[in-house]
Structures are given as C-alpha cells and as structure tokens.
Amino acid sequence: MIDNSTLVLFGARGNLAKVKLIPGLFHLDQAGKLPKNMKILSVGRQEVDESEWHSNIKKMLVEKFNSYDENVFERFIKRNLYHANLPDDPEAFIKFAKRLGDKDVFPQNLAFFLSVRPSDFALIVKQLSEVDLLDESEFWRRVLIEKPFGTCLKSAIELQNSIEEHLKEDQIYRIDHYLGKFSLQNIMTTRFKNGLLEPLWSSEHIEQIQITNHETLGVGDRTVFYEATGALRDMIQSHLLQMLALVTMEKPNSMSPEDVRLEKIKLLESIEAIPLDKIKNFAFRGQYAAGELKGETVQGYLEEVEKSDSVVETYAAIKLFINNSRWNKVPIYLRTAKRLYENSTSISVKFKNHENWLTINIQPNESTSFEITTLQPGLDMNEFRQTVLNGNNRIEGDETIDAYETLMLDLLSGDQSKFLHIDEVKAAWKLVDPIIDYWSKDKSKPTQYQPGEFDPEESKVIFEDESQFWKK
C-alpha cells in the first residue's frame, strides 16, 4: 500500500517529464494506483501560471495518448500544482519549504524526483536539507536521482560524499530506468522459477554470454551530450552491467530489495579487472561513418558533431570474466552501438559443444527463444538444421507499463530493489574507468563502420575463439 504523499518533480518542464513522467503519472492514476489524496508538485525554473501549467499538461497527454478519459483527467489535474524555483537560490527554497509545509494542501510524506542536470544533484539535495525538507522525524522523505551518477569513479564518490551529508542510504533512489522494464525483471523469474535452467547455468554447460544493445538511430541532436559521454559510459557502465548482474548473480535468499541488491553487488564486485596490458583484446571501439541506411542517406558521426578529430565511440564492446566458481573462464561479451542493422536489446547464452542458444529479448520484442538442432526432413537422414522455439513474454491483452511508471510506484512505496546501491555504482565505474582512461590517451581513430551493417569485422579482436562472433 502506498502512503498519501507528495511527489515533487524537479525539472518538470524538461523532455523526460513531458514524454515519460507526467503521462506516466496520468496512466497510473487511470489504473487506480495513486493514493486518493496524493499531490504532484512540478518544479521548474520559469514562472508559470497554474492554469497555464494545466494547459501544458493537457497538451502532453494529447501528444502521448491522442485521447484520454476526461473523468480521470479532472481527477488528475486537481493533483497537479506548479512552483518556480531556481536550484541555486536559498531564498527561493525558503519560500518553497513554506509552501510545501501547508498540510492542508500537501501530504507531508515527500518524494523528490530530480530530473535535472547532474551538476544540480548535490546542490538541490543541500538546499532541501537546509530548509528541513529531508528531515524524517515525523514523515518519510526520499530523493530519486536520475542517471548518470557521476562520470567516473572519482566523481561518483564525490557526489556520494556530498549527498550523504544530508541523506541516509535508504533515502537515496539512484535510477537506472532499464531496471523498471518488465522484460528485465522477468530475467530472475526465467532463471529461478524454471527447474530446467538453473542446473545448466554455469561454466560446466555454458560457453559464452552476449549482452547487447544496438539501434539504427544515430546521435541526432544529442551531440553535446555524446561528445562528453560516448557509448561506453552511456550504456555499458549502467544498463548492460545491470543486465549482466541479473543474468549471472546467485539466487537471493529472498526477493526482498536488500537480498536482491546484495547478490548484485557481490556479482559486480567479483568481475575481474581488465588487464591494462591486454586492453585491445578486451575492449573495442568504433564510430559510424556516413552512408545509407534503409534507403536513406545519413551523416557520419564526425559530420554530426562537426569535429573531424573526435575519437568518441558510437560502438563499444568489451569482454569480461567473473571470478567465481559458477562462471570460471566463461567470457561475457557486452556491446552497444548506434546506426547498426536493427533495434534490439537482448541476452544470448551459448551452451557448450552444441549450437544451442537461449536468447532473452528485452526490446523491442519481449520474448524468450531457444535454438535446438533438429533433423531435416528428406531422404538423407544425416542433414540437420537449427530450429527456433520462440515464446512471447507478452500476449494480447497484457497490461503495458512504462519503466518509469514502475519506478515511480516503487519510489512512492519505498521499494529499492530496482534502484542502484552506491556499491553497485562504484563497482561498475571501477570496471570501465581503465578503458575510458586508455581510450582518452589513445588518439588513434576508432574503426569506421557503415550504417546498417551487421558488425565491424575488427570487433572480432575481443573474442576468445576464431569461431565466435556476435549473435544475429
């Protein structure tokens, strides 16, 4: 059960709030998931009249859903209020606290969603603390921090040190929206609720694991962000390492948030550091060139950023090993890329001595498939082929819940199982920092690859065996 509370959305005029958060809250209200007296206070930098803000919300819902239930809208709009507040203005936070302190309007259990620039995370937490909005002597107070949590291990630790002056760990909700995806949460069910799989889930039977994310889109209008981040930081450090943890961790003692997070931490901390003297055999980077994709002429990355000397990767692939008895010597390949042949996020497990693959598709199709060898019909009884047994994890009539909807409900209910513990964040940065550092010093050009192609052949350098390559 969710307590009556107030959800405070910092960055309410930003794209995330417009596309995901506010439409998601409307959907939750429509589904009857929000407490009766819950309020939503949207916070932005600009002054906006309340009636104008309600009109803006209406536009967001029309753009998202085309049409909506007017009765639900009337209920939803009454929950919504707006407040202008600059993150670096102490006087503004005094006024803000005074408004939030009106118990006749706002339930005093407060959840703060920081959908703002990463440079504002620590500042806003400090300002909230100084006006006693994080004090839990009477009511609970929670703060959700958007990705990224730091840009390296050092900056993540500095951010943690700043916010833990004002917050306890159980008040901090570090978001990775991938963990809110139904198909990702289903990984644990697939593993632990099916007696067929768990006995085979080890180095004795598994040859390799591939965890991949690729899309046909380029960087587009995110050039400034991408130049500062790159594919490795953007996807592998967060999303793909979380997928790795879920697919390889030991079964938790229970499905409580504490037990699930404990096993993820143990797993991430057991991954072997990439040897610096062999880094070119463990990490590969590429950059999409200009070309043609599905009949459309597209720019190369260097043209988009207008920097001919940029070495920022749009394709990143790494090889990892887990130092424990279950996964000894099993290579785990992670790869993310833009402008590849299709949009797909998946986990593929290859079993030893056979062409048997188990693939868990995360998006766009939520499904689980298993490839087995079968006899090909005909006079020659020695001809074989691969047969794919495919099962959709979503069938007609299933409810569709956006990842952010799930995570906002978890924030309001106090469930941290789908949020990152600081030890997970540190472990992930420890793994990728040496690669980032190496690439920052290595000024050689990333391998150029053509839009829409499968994978650059040069990426084969990270594979353990000549017969191995990316699963299509």
The catalytic residue positions are 239
Give 218: exposed, middle or buried? Use CB within 10 Å, 0-12, 13-18, 19+.
buried
Number of other residues whose CB lies within 10 A of the CB of residue 468: 16
Distance CA 463, CA 319 (A): 8
- Judge contact between 371 and 346, C-beta under 8 A: no
Residue with tokens 């006079």: 379
- Judge contact between 387 and 378, C-beta under 8 A: no
Residues in contact with 32: Cβ distance below 8 Å, sequence separation at least 6, in sequence order: none
Question: Residue 395, SS3?
Answer: coil
Distance CA 416, CA 409 (A): 11
H/E segment holding residue 303: helix 301-305
- Judge contact between 39 and 7, C-beta under 8 A: yes
Give CA separation, 131 vs 96, 97, 128, in Å. Answer: 9, 6, 6
Side-chain half-sphere of 50: how many Cα atoms within 13 Å?
A: 9
Residue with tokens 């693939």: 359
Number of other residues whose CB lies within 10 A of the CB of residue 158: 13
Distance CA 254, CA 40 (A): 33
Residue type, 471: K
Residue 9: closest CA among 144, 139, 140, 104: 144
Distance CA 219, CA 225 (A): 9
Structure tokens at 186: 């289903």
Residues in contact with 311: Cβ distance below 8 Å, sequence separation at least 6, in sequence order: 287, 439, 442, 443, 444, 445, 446
Q: Apex CA 273: angle with CA 429 and CA 352, to 5°?
A: 115
Give CA separation, 129 vs 6, 122, 142, 150, 204, in Å. Answer: 17, 11, 12, 21, 52
**Cα 239 from chain centroid?**
4
